[in-house]
Structure 1
Amino acid sequence: MASRPLRLLALVLLAVLVPLGLTSCSDGGKKITIGTKFDQPGLAAKLPDGSMAGFDVDVARYVAEELGYSPDEIDWKEAPSPQRETLIQNGQVDYIVATYSITDARKQKVGFAGPYLVTGQGLLVRAGETDITGPQSLENNKKLCSVKGSTPAQRIKQMYPRVQVQVYDTYSACLEALNNGIMDALSTDEVILAGYAAQYPGKFKLAGEPFSVENYGIGLHREDLELREQVNAALEKMISTGAWAQAFQRNLGPAGIPTPIPPQPDRYTNVAGVADVDLLGEYGAKILRAFWVTIQLAVFSAIGALVLGTALAAMRLSPVPVLAWLGTVYINVVRNTPLTLILLFCSFGLAQTLGVTLAHTDSSSFVVDSNFRLAVLGLSVYTAAFVCETLRSGVNTIPLGQAEAARSLGLTFGQNLRLILLPQAFRAVLVPLGSVLIALIKNTTIASAIGVTEAALLMSEMIENTAMLLVVGSIFAVGFIILTLPLGLLFGRLGTRLAVLR
């Protein structure tokens, strides 16, 4: 009799699992993930309906079809310039077609098929601009925008060190800054700039002639030699059948770029080992300058946060309901807002939209000064919320009788706060305040998001230019340990010596 329930259970399981198995088999179709840009008209842009269009997109689709994937079997993934190597190395994409210049340093980290296009670096300016005729003219107190992690930004810094360079994560952010008049020019490869000029006729134009040679390749895993050969064969077929020229004319012809002679894929041999780069010799001075900027950021932001945080603590302790409410709202809003968003608001909201740059626009160091001061503002606003709550917890350690005694002596709230509460509160929370300062020092790395040339921005540049990732990471890790560890020990010692005895 016991076997009958078992047979019924088996039938129920079969009735449930078999349809699920059939469904999983029918839905488990093959897919290929391709990385590309989403904001480059003419090359790779995501349209309002969600579809992809551009020359890079057409090249990526053609290669995918030669590999056996139909267009509806492609998953498109955005590949910003600073993230391309990471996307490939982590296996998040099968290959990347995203204006990806082939360089020796990159060959040590990823593989390249191609090149599939040869172009050159150019300049995009507003339509009425007459002073900018080439990269040399940018040194005449002009402000240039480019993208972090891209070869154009690094080339400008190396070849024309007197040019004020602002770096953002995307070209669309640079284009917005150029349109708003915050930047005077945008520099990247000419085909990208021509696409923007064609998208906004009458607003932008190309200035001067290209001043470099860029070979665009299809990035893929360094050790996947079989896929690299298959992609190269697909590119050769695309070129020989005329599909390459048709794709170029269809996407970039309207931008006024004549169809060039297509390049021949380079079947190179992987670079063996890590390039012999003297990091300290080549970057030693830059590392010291970057950490000096980090220290300055931390010091000025700490001062601002301490002043604002103390004022906020006074508001939260105030007997005036409106002030207490305003302080509470500030704390709850700021503490629950990511610091990155606050810094981006300072850069894009205040500087670009409202024109609050905190630096004179005619200054020869406008970009550096503006980025630094906006970063200090954002870090101060964010850290002040934590300073406030730390001080308020210190006030809560003071016996209530002391405040009552002060009031009985006729002291006002301000006098009570200044003479009785805050002096004891600061002594009681020296160690927690030290932790807030250490967190602030580490948070300065986020300032690289708006182009502040501190340690994190230099580290990303060094990682881009060398395959010595562990060495570079270790250098900057040690640098931050040197900055933070002594502070922890110092505040711990001060907290012990200056503690209020009760």
Structure 2
Amino acid sequence: MLSRAVRLLVIAMIALALPFAMTACGGSGKKITIGTKFDQPGLAVKKPDGTMAGFDVDVATYVAGQLGYKPDEIEWKEAPSGQRETLIQNGQVDFIAASYSITDARKQKVDFAGPYLITGQSLLVRADNNDITGADSLQNGKRLCSVSGSTPAQRIKDKYPGVQLQQYDTYSACVEALRNGAIDAVSTDEVILAGFAAQFPGAFKIIGKPFSKEPYGIGLRKGDSQLRTKINDAIVKMEKDGDWKAAFDKNLGPAGITAPPPPPLDTGGTAGQAQHVDILGKYKSQIIRAFWTTIQLTFFAAIGALILGTFLAAMRLSPVPMLRTLGTAYVNVVRNTPLTLIILFCSFGLAQTLGVTLADPKSPTSIADSNFRLAALGLTLYTASFVCETVRSGVNTIPLGQAEAARSLGLTFGQNLRIILLPQAFRAVIIPLGSVLIALVKNTTIASAIGVAEAALLMKEMIENTAALLVVGTIFAIGFVILTLPLGLLFGWLGKRLAVAR
């Protein structure tokens, strides 16, 4: 019995030790999540096979190795420019290496290790372009693209107000717009532009001298001084071992850039004291202009949607089967398509690919005008499907006998609709139409995806460039309440006053 008990004890001890043995053999399943870009050749790009490549990727991989993680234990997460602080603050990544410029505003939200590279903002143009020779030559209404929420985009706004700035969420979208002639130049850090120039040999060229100094750092959670020290130690080791220069030459050397001397580490503390920013004093005029753009988008889209939606409702009520089929198909397809896709299709599909222009290309404000009109078109097409169903539901509240009586009097379908049905239908659905209009006001925020300078885009930029997250969010929340609450009260009052008595 004793020997049997000993055997059972040994088996139990082996069973307990097995998981630890597997851990020692690499079976622990430990992971580190690193944020980076997925669309920046030379710095960080996700290949078709799912692997990552680029200088930022190599630096991050080396740092992870010094922290005890193998390459296959790294989980890569895309970190768009405008979302980097959010990803860090929410704990979605352990650190970010994504052409992340160290700025005082960002230091209020996250900490930085490094810098591991210093570059400068430059310009990328088509190879046959001889008009643009540097930043100053952009002032005469040239069309320039950069990424919304990025340091380069903000610098262009601050220092070169004569430029027509188009903002997209990624630099790859900017480069595509440059390829098809929708814009004249792309501006961001030279190393990023060099990667795209190398990706399309002979198509582009970098012109002028860099007109800024951008120190790239590794972003991490604010206050994590222990991790910051470890990352700094890893960067120093990478530079001394020669791996830093090797990574630079491998990824950026083919673009014709010579590896610069490694930059000294920033040892000036983790964040500094929070700076007081007079939000209203600095941004008051911009906030007013942004909300005015929101109001204009709402007005023009509402008019267009009301007209198109009423026409679609007439098609769905028509005695002609083909018209009913077409109206039903439009409503079902558009209503179930995300608004963002419709807005992006209007910009990339209609304007860039098909060449449908809604503004004079020679106008000094052609990009802003075109983006505004394309956004209004997309909002109109989307909202019209909801207006259609609202109006049709109003028609269905009218007793069938009225329509039959109108036909017996010899009224055509059009006359019946115009004289009998629609007047009563609109009175019956005033409150639901008000709800559609309120939804439209809020949906205008999607226009920021194609760079329309409305409220949501300004809020994104203010959050990027200040540490006053709650203040900025509160300002814009109050702004939208001011826009939508009176609409709700107005349509509620009109709905009661003009209700059809049955």
Same-fold status (TM-score > 0.5): yes
Asked if 2 retains the 8 angstrom alpha-carbon contact of 1:108 and 1:270, the reply is no
C-alpha distance after superposition, 1:2-52 (max 9, x if no partner) = xxxxxxxxxxxx9xx99x989997854211111111111111111222211
SS of the equivalent of 1:116 reads strand
TM-score scaled by length of structure 2: 0.95
Asked if 2 retains the 8 angstrom alpha-carbon contact of 1:169 and 1:449, the reply is yes
User: Equivalent residue for 2:125?
Assistant: 125
User: Equivalent residue for 1:434?
Assistant: 434
Asked if 1 retains the 8 angstrom alpha-carbon contact of 2:107 and 2:272, the reply is no
The range that moved more, 244-253 or 381-390, is 244-253
C-alpha distance after superposition, 1:481-501 (max 9, x if no partner) = 000000100000000000010
User: Equivalent residue for 2:57?
Assistant: 57
**Is 2:258 the counterpart of 1:258?**
yes
SS of the equivalent of 1:329 reads helix
**Is 2:297 the counterpart of 1:297?**
yes
User: Equivalent residue for 1:161?
Assistant: 161
User: Equivalent residue for 2:82?
Assistant: 82
User: Equivalent residue for 2:425?
Assistant: 425
The range that moved more, 321-330 or 349-358, is 349-358
> 2-side partners of 1:148 and 1:427: how far apart?
43
> 2-side partners of 1:125 and 1:468: how far apart?
36
Asked if 2 retains the 8 angstrom alpha-carbon contact of 1:113 and 1:267, the reply is no
> 2-side partners of 1:409 and 1:274: how far apart?
77
Asked if 1 retains the 8 angstrom alpha-carbon contact of 2:225 and 2:270, the reply is no
C-alpha distance after superposition, 1:287-328 (max 9, x if no partner) = 000000000000000000000000000000000000000000
Q: Which runs of 5+ in 1 are unaligned?
A: 1-13
In the TM superposition, residue 86 of structure 1 has moved relative to its aligned partner by: 0.9
In the TM superposition, residue 267 of structure 1 has moved relative to its aligned partner by: 2.4
C-alpha distance after superposition, 1:114-162 (max 9, x if no partner) = 0000000000000000000011111222100000111000100110001
User: Equivalent residue for 1:9?
Assistant: none
User: Equivalent residue for 2:275?
Assistant: 275
> 1-side partners of 2:374 and 2:164: how far apart?
16
Asked if 2 retains the 8 angstrom alpha-carbon contact of 1:287 and 1:455, the reply is yes
Letter in 2 for 1:451: G
Asked if 1 retains the 8 angstrom alpha-carbon contact of 2:462 and 2:472, the reply is yes
> CA distance change for structure 1 residues 99 and 164 in 2, over 3 Å: closer, same or farther?
same
Asked if 2 retains the 8 angstrom alpha-carbon contact of 1:40 and 1:196, the reply is yes
In the TM superposition, residue 187 of structure 1 has moved relative to its aligned partner by: 0.3
**Is 2:187 the counterpart of 1:184?**
no
User: Equivalent residue for 1:139?
Assistant: 139
User: Equivalent residue for 1:475?
Assistant: 475
C-alpha distance after superposition, 1:436-472 (max 9, x if no partner) = 0000000000100010000000000000011110000
Q: Which runs of 5+ in 2 are unaligned?
A: 1-11
> CA distance change for structure 1 residues 387 and 113 in 2, over 3 Å: closer, same or farther?
same
User: Equivalent residue for 1:96?
Assistant: 96
Letter in 2 for 1:497: R
Letter in 2 for 1:149: G
> 2-side partners of 1:42 and 1:372: how far apart?
34
Letter in 2 for 1:208: G
> CA distance change for structure 1 residues 353 and 24 in 2, over 3 Å: closer, same or farther?
farther
> 2-side partners of 1:440 and 1:232: how far apart?
48
User: Equivalent residue for 2:4?
Assistant: none
> 1-side partners of 2:472 and 2:262: how far apart?
37
SS of the equivalent of 2:30 reads coil
User: Equivalent residue for 1:343?
Assistant: 343
> 2-side partners of 1:384 and 1:24: how far apart?
60
Which structure 2 residues correspond to residues 266-415 of structure 1 after superposition, within 5 A? 266-271=266-271, 274-415=274-415
Letter in 2 for 1:378: G
> 1-side partners of 2:230 and 2:171: how far apart?
31
The range that moved more, 447-456 or 138-147, is 138-147
C-alpha distance after superposition, 1:378-402 (max 9, x if no partner) = 0000000000000001001101110
TM-score scaled by length of structure 1: 0.95
In the TM superposition, residue 198 of structure 1 has moved relative to its aligned partner by: 1.1
> 1-side partners of 2:292 and 2:273: how far apart?
33
SS of the equivalent of 1:349 reads helix
SS of the equivalent of 1:76 reads strand
Letter in 2 for 1:72: D
> 1-side partners of 2:372 and 2:296: how far apart?
9
> 1-side partners of 2:28 and 2:344: how far apart?
41
> 2-side partners of 1:362 and 1:207: how far apart?
23
> CA distance change for structure 1 residues 475 and 405 in 2, over 3 Å: closer, same or farther?
same
SS of the equivalent of 2:485 reads helix
> 1-side partners of 2:142 and 2:271: how far apart?
39
> CA distance change for structure 1 residues 419 and 133 in 2, over 3 Å: closer, same or farther?
same
Letter in 1 for 2:329: V
Aligned length: 486
User: Equivalent residue for 1:227?
Assistant: 227
C-alpha distance after superposition, 1:401-453 (max 9, x if no partner) = 10001000000000000000000000000000000000000000010001000
User: Equivalent residue for 1:196?
Assistant: 196
In the TM superposition, residue 165 of structure 1 has moved relative to its aligned partner by: 0.3
> CA distance change for structure 1 residues 317 and 139 in 2, over 3 Å: closer, same or farther?
same
SS of the equivalent of 2:416 reads helix
> 2-side partners of 1:118 and 1:71: how far apart?
26
> 2-side partners of 1:47 and 1:500: how far apart?
62
> 1-side partners of 2:427 and 2:170: how far apart?
46
SS of the equivalent of 1:34 reads strand
Asked if 2 retains the 8 angstrom alpha-carbon contact of 1:144 and 1:166, the reply is yes
Letter in 2 for 1:357: T
Asked if 2 retains the 8 angstrom alpha-carbon contact of 1:312 and 1:388, the reply is yes
User: Equivalent residue for 2:205?
Assistant: 205
SS of the equivalent of 2:98 reads coil
